[in-house]
Copies of this chain bind each other. A is one copy, B any other.
């Protein structure tokens, strides 16, 4: 359970919201559907709200709904909204400074990380939430 499942859950949650249209959905309901704890969902929704993808309302009759049409929400936005880690981590301990290779390795790898992240985002930009809905329904 260590790997980041936040993106997966986020897509799931957003799909539920998309299906609910303008109706506000409660974290309790979503949690039941995703099969987890409501707080986990609220934490996630908090991130999505910061990114402007959803709108939540507190209080009785509160809940969350999409901030935009499904066709205007790209999965790349979802990905960027979450505090997911990079594809690979840099060295945990800094390499030995006496090693000529180690000295410049970090800079190279850091640049590579950014390139990869860009690739991922480009790929995810091809899908909107509406695409997801269609795939889910036709399956």
Contact = CB atoms under 8 A, between A and B. Distances in A.
A33 B87 contact: no
Contacts of A124: 112, 116
Contacts of A115: 123
Contact of A123 (B35, B101, B119): B119
Given A33-B102, A35-B96, 20 more contacts: A3-B85, A4-B88, A7-B88, A8-B91, A9-B91, A12-B91, A15-B105, A32-B96, A32-B99, A34-B99, A35-B94, A75-B112, A100-B136, A104-B135, A107-B139, A108-B139, A116-B120, A116-B124, A119-B120, A120-B120
Interface of A: 1-9, 11-12, 15-16, 19, 32-36, 75, 84-96, 98-102, 104-105, 107-109, 112, 115-116, 119-120, 122-124, 127, 132, 135-137, 139
